[in-house]
Homo-oligomer: A and B are copies of this chain.
Amino acid sequence: MAINKIGREIPDYIEGIGELKSYEGPFSVEPAKRRFGRKISTITPKQSKILEDIEQAIIETGLKDGMTISFHHHFREGDYIINMVVDTIAKLGIKNITLAPSSLNSVHAPIIEHIKNGVITKIETSGLRGSLADAISKGILEYPVKIRSHGGRARAIEAGDVKIDVAFLGVPACDEYGNANGHSGKSFCGSLGYAKVDAQYADKVVLITDNLVPYPNVPASIAQTDVDFVVKMDAIGDPKGIVSGATRYTKNPRELLIAKYAATVIKESGYLADGFSMQCGTGGASLAVARSIKQTMIEKDIKASFALGGITGQFVEMLEEGLINKLYDTQCFDLTAAKSIGTNPNHVEIDAGFYANPHNKGCAVNVLDIVILSALEVDTEFNVNVITGSDGVLRGASGGHCDTAAGSKLSIIVAPLIRGRIPTIVENVNTVITPGETIDVVVTDRGIAVNPLRTDLIEKLSKTNLPIFTIEELKEKAEKIAGKPKAIQYGEKIVALVEYRDGTIIDVIKEVK
């Protein structure tokens, strides 16, 4: 057992998982490995890649007991692929599989049955939601889930920490030789940024599509040179669950107040200058901050060099209006963004490694100026929880949270001080996804706290009319209103390991009683 840099107890070793390294700071790991190389396999000129169905694909890839399979989460709650593939693996009698998708959603509840019947014995993912998350929090899996950030997953795959035997990737448009993108078809999702990494590193790659298009399907997010097999099906997802319509602006006065404060912090920080860059979430407050930034940009004739991350229609609009020069997109968050990426050459698809892998020669978050992030909880060390609820149950995703916080020049958390009568600012967060030393400012509806490490920002912001407090003062305000939150009753079993983007363990999550 070790105590890591943020004071969490981390086991040195877990049976079935191996040795664990403790988190020692955001840039403390110097990578010493070589990049992972998948098995070279070749397809000769007259060989077809088209297979009948998923069952044939599983057989042809040689999938066996104990192997690792991967998927992407671009179809979100509309995804059919994971359940179909795992059902078929179960039917074929294959067991003891590690499920390593880029993320999991509520729609993947049927995986519970495949954990019970021994088909799935390990899971590695960015997020978990719904009844599958509940079951895991209650200890249904023998081995702890590994939670990784988007950049951390790309790092792990590129370093060979995750060795994908077979990637099963749903693709909205694909030709017979495996050139695929997310631009068209009934299941269109826009960027395939997470899938790109799997396609490049998995030993075997199976594309599953409901939209076979003529060769060559270019520009391609996934290239023929990475694809072993193509399976055509009637439906790979539910369009209603894949992309949401246009994002609505919040009218919630509390969110609007948070946004107003955050926008002022940004303006006063000095980072809102010509050529700046930004990433925003999809929450009401985040979007309202972006809208306010846009107003300032127009008034002061400021242009952004790029916007990054999951992209919304709001950024697409700003791109089209000439306020943003380029969009770097790993994941399209709405219909407008998904449509834009297929048509606007300045809306550029990037993979998760380019986005946020800390162990390449310079990922995009490294050059990000401003990021607006959400939080379930923030503690007095500025550590942030975005994965476990106030009941200690898994219900979120690591996503790009810790990646962008580490890379950006100004990371801002926007959150209400109290949420459903539960304080957001607490003594100790249940689970740390993002270490406090990478968080610069916390903005709530009842006040703003600046990380004491950022004396430059404290100096700048203390000259304004903003309601600046220490983080302890915010915590006390919250407790005064909602009371001190009751400690969660955890069991002894570790149900999840939270891996920091560099591969060290920043926290563990225990079973809820």
Main SS at interface, chain A: loop
Once the chains are docked, how many angstroms separate the CA of A358 from the CA of B47? 13
Once the chains are docked, how many angstroms separate the CA of A32 from the CA of B40? 7
Inter-subunit contact B226/A45 (CB<8 Å): no
The distance from the CB of A37 to the nearest CB of chain B, in whole angstroms, is 3
Once the chains are docked, how many angstroms separate the CA of A425 from the CA of B32? 55
Inter-subunit contact A38/B42 (CB<8 Å): no
Which of A33, A47, A305, A361 counts the most B-chain CB atoms under 10 A from its CB? A361
Inter-subunit contact A367/B27 (CB<8 Å): no
Inter-subunit contact B36/A227 (CB<8 Å): no
The distance from the CB of A220 to the nearest CB of chain B, in whole angstroms, is 9
A223 on interface, CB distance cutoff 8 Å = yes
A389 on interface, CB distance cutoff 8 Å = no
A219 on interface, CB distance cutoff 8 Å = yes
Inter-subunit contact B328/A216 (CB<8 Å): yes
Which of A159, A224, A275, A345 counts the most B-chain CB atoms under 10 A from its CB? A224
Inter-subunit contact B361/A224 (CB<8 Å): yes
Residues of B within 8 A of A361 (CB): 41-43, 178, 205, 224-228
A37 partner, pick from B34, B357, B364, beta carbons under 8 A: B34
One digit per residue, 1 when the CB lies within 8 angstroms of any chain B CB and 0 when it does not, for chain A 388-420 equals 000000000000000000110100000000000
A64 on interface, CB distance cutoff 8 Å = no
Residues of B within 8 A of A409 (CB): 45
Inter-subunit contact B225/A353 (CB<8 Å): yes
Once the chains are docked, how many angstroms separate the CA of A40 from the CA of B31? 6
Inter-subunit contact B345/A224 (CB<8 Å): no
Inter-subunit contact B224/A40 (CB<8 Å): no
Chain A residues 21-68 with CB under 8 Å of chain B are: 27, 30-45, 47, 49
Given A36-B37, A227-B362, verify A367-B215 contact (CB < 8 Å).
Answer: yes
A218 on interface, CB distance cutoff 8 Å = yes
Residues of B within 8 A of A36 (CB): 37
Which of A40, A159, A353 counts the most B-chain CB atoms under 10 A from its CB? A40
Once the chains are docked, how many angstroms separate the CA of A513 from the CA of B219? 51
The distance from the CB of A411 to the nearest CB of chain B, in whole angstroms, is 11
Inter-subunit contact A348/B42 (CB<8 Å): no
Inter-subunit contact A326/B218 (CB<8 Å): yes
Once the chains are docked, how many angstroms separate the CA of A47 from the CA of B358? 13
Inter-subunit contact B37/A345 (CB<8 Å): no
Inter-subunit contact A225/B45 (CB<8 Å): no
Inter-subunit contact B177/A275 (CB<8 Å): no
Residues of B within 8 A of A335 (CB): none
Residues of B within 8 A of A345 (CB): 219, 345
Residues of B within 8 A of A215 (CB): 275, 305-306, 367
Inter-subunit contact A42/B359 (CB<8 Å): yes
Closest B residue to A45 by beta carbon equals B366
Chain A residues 220-235 with CB under 8 Å of chain B are: 223-228
The 7 sampled A-B contact pairs (Cβ below 8 Å) are A32-B40, A35-B39, A45-B366, A177-B367, A224-B361, A225-B353, A225-B363
Q: 5 tightest CB-CB pairs across the interface, nearest first? A: A35-B37, A34-B37, A43-B362, A31-B40, A225-B360
